[in-house]
Structure 1
Amino acid sequence: MFLENIKKTIQNYHMIEKGDKIIVGVSGGADSIALLAVLCALQKEYDINIEAVHIHHGLRGEEADRDALFVKQICKEWCVPCHVLEFDIAKEAREKGIGLEEMGRICRYNTFYDIAGKNGKIAVAHHQNDQAETVLFNLCRGTGLTGLCGMTPVRGNIIRPFLFVSRKEIEYFLSKKNICYCQDSTNEQNHYTRNKIRLSVLPFLENEINDKAIKHIASAASILSEEETFLEELAEKALHKMIVSKQQKKIALDINLLLSENVVMRRRIFRKAFCLIDDSLQDLSYIHIQQIEQLLHKQTGKRLSLPLKRSVLIEYNNILFSLEDEVKSTKFCYKLLPEKAIYIKEIGKFVELSFNAYKKQEKRLTIYTRVFDYDKIKGDISCRTRQQGDSIAIGNGHQKKLKDFLIDAKIARQKRDKLLLFAVGKQILWIPGYRISSDFTANETTKNKLWISVWEGEKNERTY
């Protein structure tokens, strides 16, 4: 019956396919030895290649040596290739400033991944009791729906065939098969939070509340996991509909579309937006998600700084999620001469003044070209970023401060200092993509026309 239940889990969650390479994490304890025994029993049926991996953490002295030797011997007896690796977990934990449990977990899984390779699968022996323990641990620590789902049967190339059987069932299976296993004395110590839940909380719930408490908690986690998957799919679809722009380290979403969603869905969308640029939600808590929600209702230019160099910014009708880089100056100023192309390294573009632009235009892909009345230009033309005191003629003899023009044009604040401008002194001739000064435009009476061109290119590119 036990074996049939495991096979049902494997089939329901498509954990194993014929010919798979399965790496089994084997500590020597009851759970992992039972898992190794079950997979060996199914080896011929599934035509799988099994390898055991044992990690010696360097923490328990002779007891740890005993466990490593036991795993080697039983693997030899069962004809299973065995990898035994030793780490100084205490030292590595001190160096990285993290706890022993977390450091041990990192070393174990890094080793599993290395040995499994790209196509191998990693089988771990988490069972129903571990699931209940995980759910309670997350609940007490503070979590949302995701944490209440506990562990999933399959996560990437990690499989958990025992997730729906109890510790008692595992021990009964081993007893019936006369299979020995090791006892880890640290599992009986109340030094670790998880041990306290395992040794005190879960037994109390079973003995004093409901004898099926563990099974019910694990069952609830399974139900919540299905609902979580459904909600995540909805959030994914909603997110992609509201993406305005996406770059490597930033993504802009339409605020109006966001506000049309329920707040529950918005919270998921916020997290998914960061995942698209960061692949991680580390240190991003519910409090931060609430702060993003509040930011949605604030005016343009408002910014929220979050852990690990994350930031959120309101940009008119959009909300921008980004990873902040070191601030680098993008200011530049180049004096231009006719018929001489100049490469602007700060923006990766060429600019050129020319009296015969049409002849050259055929030989390159020009992003922008505009024509001006050269006789109206009194002074040197420069290509630069904005400066204090800049203004632009907007027609009918009216001048407008450049700052006011950029605000009215709804150009985001962080873009304003990077804008490419052509100017004579403090007078702006042209803002490519936005505006030409009315004071310098060419018309039918213009005698001397000057073309200004801007195009993409590399510094060593040939110019014509």
Structure 2
Amino acid sequence: MPAEQKGSGESVEACARRLRYHALEELRREIGADLIGVGHTNDDQAEELLIRLLRGTGLQGLAGMARKSGRVIRPLLDIGKQEIVTYLESRAIAFCLDSSNLSRRFLRNRVRLDLLPLLERDFNPAIKKTLLSMAEVFRDDDDYLEQQVAHLYDRVVDRTGGLQLAIPPVLALHPALQRRLLEKICWHSGCRPTAEHIKQLLACLMHGEQGVELHLPQRITARKIGTNLVFQQRDRQRGSSPPGSSLPPLLLPGEGVYEVPALAATISLRRFDHHPQPGPGELIVDGDRVRLPLTLRAPRAGERFWPLGAPGSKKIRRYFSDRKIPVHSRDRIPILGNQEMVVAIPGLAIAEPVKITATTRRFLLISWNRRP
């Protein structure tokens, strides 16, 4: 498992879960079984709902684990864990406990051992029942939306060359159906998106430039090509691209930390209501003068930039020359901009039109960090 996790980039829990279900599916085929029964209880359901709330999710996530998902069934989902333990003990049936369930290293264990007891003690003694009832309501709503999206999915998704989502018909849909379609195509691509991922994908659909790319969990990439949003598996070696490799446009729809695998770097955006003190690799611009979303991309031929303090704009190539940046290093320096202008060259300079002034009330901190 450690070797598999290192290659996949998943968390320990996510990688172990994937391998566990893979092993169960292999065994099912080997013995000719129809279904795989797993032992999730209503305690597990309550924990899962809280975890999804903490991480951010949509209606489908709040509906909780399904009683049947493909060949996997959960026959104990309406029964409490203590009820099962009591049953086993009353009949002297041996059972084992996983010692890792006591480790607070994992989020699920902290929810089980700390958060749920806190909520029961200080906020709602019936919190588990409340969560399960809520999930039941969401499950009915989710089922209705799933029926609507199932009719749409085959019309707007092309399965050739990866999964391709046709953008124009999706833009005409209600936002609830848009989000649901994006969630469904992510699941079919092999990744489990958070609410923030769906928000970024929506921004890509509506405002993203051609070629803009979003990096999703499980090494899935969504890229805007023509009138489609194409979902594909990323090459595992892509993050170690040599100098001179091309930089796919990366959409930054709002605050957050974004991976830039082609340059072995990260870029983050953070908003402040006060003037923050910038550190190494950080730039500050007037948050009200910058229109989101922004795009991190390679400079275009002949593109111009108005550096802070300069009398006017100049070609980016000339700016690099003035800064004595070696020619062989320039193709590893991206620009950050929107459809109107180049806002900044991360780690180097901001544009004059977005500088901080005496009237600035909101500040946007741009952090650029290359991994060693």
* Length-normalised TM-score, structure 1: 0.43
Match status 1:290 vs 2:202: no
Equivalent runs, 1:156-195 vs 2, <5 Å:
156-195=70-109
Offset, 1:128: 0.7
User: Which of the numbers 193, 212, 215 marks the counterpart of 2:126?
Assistant: 212
User: Which one of 261, 272, 287 corresponds to residue 173 of structure 2?
Assistant: 261
Deviation string, structure 1 residues 307-359 (Cα, Å, up to 9, x no partner): 234312344xxx45354999xxxxxxxxxxxxxxxxxxxxxxxxxxxxxxxxx
- Give matches, 1:270-281, under 5 Å: 270-273=182-185, 279-281=188-190
- State the Cα distance separating 1:100 from its structure 2 match: 3.7
Amino acid at match of 1:266: Q
Cα distance, 1:159 vs. partner?
Answer: 1.2
Check conservation: 1:236, 1:272, Cα contact below 8 A.
no
Alpha-carbon distance between aligned partners in 2 of 1:155 and 1:260, rounded to the nearest angstrom: 30
Give the drift of 1:189. Answer: 3.3
Quote the offset at 1:153 in angstroms: 0.9
Distance in 2 between the 1:254 and 1:226 partners? 28
User: Per the alignment, in what secondary structure is the counterpart of residue 224 of structure 2?
Assistant: strand
Distance 1:290 1:233 in 2: 22
CA contact (8 A) 1:206 1:213 kept: yes
Query: 1 CA distance for matches of 2:45 and 2:23?
Result: 23
Alpha-carbon distance in structure 1 between the residues aligned to 2:164 and 2:15: 33
| 1:360-409 C-alpha deviation (Å, 9 max, x unpaired) | xxxxxxxxxxxxxxxxxxxxxxxxxxxxxxxxxxxxxxxxxxxxxxxxxx
Task: Answer yes or no: is 1:305 the counterpart of 2:213.
Answer: yes
Alignment gaps of 5+ in structure 2: 236-372
| Matching of residue 226 in structure 1 with residue 140 in structure 2 | yes
Kindly name which structure, 1 or 2, has the bigger radius of gyration based on alpha carbons: 1
TM superposition shift of 1:254: 6.3
Q: 1:140 aligns with which of 54, 58, 72?
A: 54
**CA–CA distance in 2 between the matches of 1:169 and 1:324?**
43
Matching residue of 2:25? 113
SS across alignment from 2:189:
coil
Higher mean C-alpha deviation, range 128-137 or range 234-243 = 234-243
Q: Is contact 1:295–1:314 with CA below 8 Å preserved after alignment?
A: no
Once residues 182 and 322 of structure 1 are traced to their aligned partners in structure 2, the CA distance between those partners, rounded to angstroms, is: 42
Cα distance, 1:121–1:310 mapped onto 2, change above 3 Å: same
Alpha-carbon separation, structure 2, partners of 1:290 and 1:181: 44
RMSD between superposed Cα atoms in Å: 3.2
- 1:120 is paired with a residue of what secondary structure? coil
Which amino acid is 1:261 matched to?
L
Aligned partners of 2:28 and 2:35 also within 8 Å: yes
Paired residue type of 1:220:
M
SS of the residue corresponding to residue 26 of structure 2 reads: helix
Structure 1 residue 143, shift from structure 2 partner? 1.7
In 1, Cα distance between equivalents of 2:11 and 2:164: 35
Over 3 Å counting, the alpha-carbon distance change for 1:207 and 1:273 in structure 2 is closer
Unaligned runs of 5+ in 1: 1-88, 327-464
Residue 45 of structure 2, aligned match among 112, 131, 142 = 131
Whole-angstrom CA distance in 2 between matches of 1:254 and 1:96: 30
Identity between Structure 1 and Structure 2 (%): 27
- Mapped to 2, the partners of 1:239 and 1:230 lie a distance apart of 14
Query: Given that residues 292 and 312 in structure 1 are in contact (C-alpha distance below 8 angstroms), is that contact kept between their aligned partners in structure 2?
Result: no
Partner of 2:230: 321
Question: What is the Cα deviation at residue 168 of structure 1?
Answer: 2.0
Q: Aligned equivalents of 1:175 and 1:139: distance in 2?
A: 34
Q: Does the 8 Å CA contact 2:205/2:229 hold for their aligned counterparts?
A: no
Report how far residue 160 of structure 1 moved: 0.9
- Could you tell me which amino acid in structure 2 is paired with residue 121 of structure 1? L
Given the two structures, how large is their TM-score scaled by the length of structure 2? Answer: 0.53
Structure 2 equivalent of residue 201 of structure 1? 115
- Aligned to 1:310, the other structure's residue is in SS state strand
1:158-209: CA deviations, max 9, x gaps? 1111101111211221233232323443333323221111112112222333
Please tell me whether residue 102 in structure 1 is matched to residue 10 in structure 2: no
| Distance in 1 separating the partners of 2:2 and 2:206 | 48
CA contact (8 A) 1:153 1:161 kept: yes
| Number of aligned residues | 229
**1:145-164 Cα deviation digits (max 9, x unpaired):** 22222211111111111101
Question: Structure 1's 280 and 246: CA in aligned 2 closer, same or farther, altered over 3 A?
Answer: closer
Contact 1:296 1:314 (8 Å CA) reproduced: no
What is the alpha-carbon distance in structure 2 between the residues aligned to residue 200 and residue 219 of structure 1? 22
Structure 1 distance, partners of 2:230, 2:27, is 37
Q: Which has the higher contact order (CA 8 A, sep 6+)?
A: 2
* Residues 125 and 161, structure 1, Cα contact 8 Å, conserved in 2: yes
